[in-house]
């Protein structure tokens, strides 16, 4: 059982029936506004892909994938997706989506190696989105422009929830603050990356941490990123690198930084080769996704994922993600949560 946080005198603001209605309101409102703001069309996405195609997301490269043999395909192995970071980019090409437009989808995944706690579950649900961009858009200012658009959707959704449930008052700051992981390392050199995030988000309320994946001034990355979707090596300003990042919100219920999105401008042909080289994963060049990218068969894009259950949890002031989604929890966790007025569905 992971490290659980139990808010003092916790009492859910909504009962079970109200929660289920509110979850639908959050999801409907958010995805409609996201689609409109970024000009995204909804598409149907796979739950699993064939092993060995390079389509699945490797996350930090160490997590196990859920796999099974396909009887009608000579027992070829299928993998439940970890995310759709690469699949979406191929879908942009296959759907013939033009520059300035994109797609989004409901992504469902199973991550058996997650350490279960208030915000981590075996079951992952998120809105995966991807937008076609041009060569001149591959820069830090365009990344910030898209982040601000997403943040406006977050604020708009927060207001709709408040209109329906006045006891859930808005708390998001007017603007999101941008900080590079390198800046955080300099500001808090004795803290871990997660502790740096905590201090920054506690101060600002909403932060986008830029440049995740590459080594910082202390020689360590802020966090791990696969080498073949986000661009975390392109130089930006003052020696900083990276065209990707995470959206973090201050969660007063848990008194912690609350990651709701990982996103970024995707690698182009040159950046892919560079990041494969420095991570010693050049063998991936022979995989389906990588071949298509190296052959210029895929458009330039920006994309990311937005956690559905986490966003619902944040807006509805829930203490545990298990109050939003139905998953598997240990008997010990269920009992401990119940003793603290947290009832897992």
Determine phi and psi for 61, rounding to 5 degrees. Answer: 90, 0
Question: Is residue 275 annotated as part of the catalytic site, yes or no?
Answer: no
Q: Which of 58, 158, 259, 268 is catalytic?
A: 259
Q: Is 152 a catalytic residue?
A: no
* 204, 258 Cβ separation under 8 angstroms: no
Catalytic residue among 197, 228, 231, 246: 246
Residue 330 near residue 320, CB atoms below 8 Å:
no
- Determine which one of 35, 83, 121, 126 is catalytic: 126
Q: Nearest-CA neighbor of 246 among 176, 325, 175, 174?
A: 176
Establish whether 309 is a catalytic residue.
no
Picking from 110, 50, 112, the residue whose alpha carbon sits closest to that of residue 77 is: 50
Decide if 268 is catalytic. no
Q: Is 185 a catalytic residue?
A: no
Task: Give yes or no for a contact between 132 and 93, defined as CB atoms under 8 angstroms apart.
Answer: no
Active site residue 230: no
Residues recognised as catalytic: 57, 111, 126, 246, 259, 262
């Amino acid at each position: 059982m992971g490290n659980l946080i139990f808010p003092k005198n916790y009492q859910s603001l909504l009962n079970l029936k109200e929660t289920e209605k509110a979850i639908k309101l959050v999801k409907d409102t958010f995805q409609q506004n996201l689609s409109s703001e970024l000009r995204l069309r909804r598409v149907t996405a796979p739950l699993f892909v064939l092993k060995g195609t390079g389509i699945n997301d490797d996350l930090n490269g160490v997590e196990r994938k859920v796999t099974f043999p396909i009887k009608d395909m000579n027992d070829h192995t299928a993998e439940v997706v970890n995310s759709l970071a690469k699949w979406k980019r191929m879908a942009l090409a296959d759907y013939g989506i033009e520059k300035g437009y994109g797609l989004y989808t409901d992504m469902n995944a199973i991550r058996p190696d997650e350490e279960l706690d208030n915000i981590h579950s075996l079951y992952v649900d998120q809105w995966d989105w991807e937008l076609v961009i041009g060569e001149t858009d591959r820069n830090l200012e365009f990344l910030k422009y898209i982040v601000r658009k997403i943040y406006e959707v977050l604020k708009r959704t927060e207001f709709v929830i408040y209109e329906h449930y006045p006891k859930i008052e808005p708390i998001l700051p007017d603007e999101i603050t941008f900080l590079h992981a390198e800046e955080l390392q300099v500001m808090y050199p004795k803290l871990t990356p997660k502790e740096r995030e905590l201090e920054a988000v506690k101060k600002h309320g909403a932060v986008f941490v830029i440049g995740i994946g590459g080594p910082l001034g202390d020689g360590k990355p802020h966090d791990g990123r696969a080498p073949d979707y986000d661009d975390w090596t392109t130089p930006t300003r003052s020696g900083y690198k990276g065209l990707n990042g995470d959206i973090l919100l201050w969660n007063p219920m848990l008194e912690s930084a609350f990651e709701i999105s990982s996103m970024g401008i995707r690698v182009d042909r040159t950046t892919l080769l560079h990041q494969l080289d420095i991570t010693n994963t050049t063998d991936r060049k022979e995989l389906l996704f990588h071949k298509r990218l190296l052959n210029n068969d895929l458009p330039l894009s920006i994309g990311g994922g937005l956690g559905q259950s986490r966003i619902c949890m944040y807006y509805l002031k829930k203490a545990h993600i298990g109050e939003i989604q139905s998953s598997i929890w240990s008997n010990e966790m269920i009992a401990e949560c119940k003793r603290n007025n947290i009832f897992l569905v």
